Amino acid sequence: FLQTVTGVSPTVVVSSDAEWTMETIEVTGTKPAPVAATSSSATAPSSATASSVLSIARRYIGVPYVSGGSTPAGFDCSGFTKYVYAQVGENPPRDSYSQRYAGTVVPASQARPGDLIWWPGHVGIYTGNGQHIAARQPGTALHEGPIWRANPIYIRVLS
């Protein structure tokens, strides 16, 4: 939350002899069934899973871009999309080129939030209304904003 509001990461200083512990919690569940899309749902997620993708993706706003990064410590574009989709039970390939073929291409007029948005060398997650969320380039934190390149390819990974 602090990063989103101020754009600055807080600094935490810890003694070098500090001890850390972490409790492990097991979570189980089932993947929700997709909800049928209607022609009026062009800017709304088509299922609970698509809503989950957007919710999960937005948790990582502010994470730094790290070349080759695939964890919340730092993401590159395809590491981010793979990580997010894995949280809803999907397993797209690791690199952006292969993610281009991870689902079904849909025309821009039928793109829905939760679809991948792809260009050669870059991939992100479409959030609707001409916006997407992605790890874009070194020196910039992951963020949601306007689609800045022309002619993206939209890829439906979720049912």
Residue 124 gets which letter from DSSP? E
Report d(CA 25, CA 99) in Å as an integer: 31
Which residues have C-beta within 8 Å of that of residue 54, sequence separation ≥ 6? 45, 113, 114, 125, 127, 133
pTM for this prediction: 0.71
Predicted confidence at residue 33, as pLDDT, reads 47
The one-digit pLDDT tens for each residue of the chain (159 residues) are: 334 444 444 555 656 666 655 555 454 545 444 444 433 334 445 567 999 999 999 999 999 999 999 999 999 999 999 999 999 999 999 999 999 999 999 999 999 999 999 999 999 999 999 999 999 999 999 999 999 889 999 999 997
Q: Is the separation of the CB atoms in 128 and 52 below 8 Å?
A: no
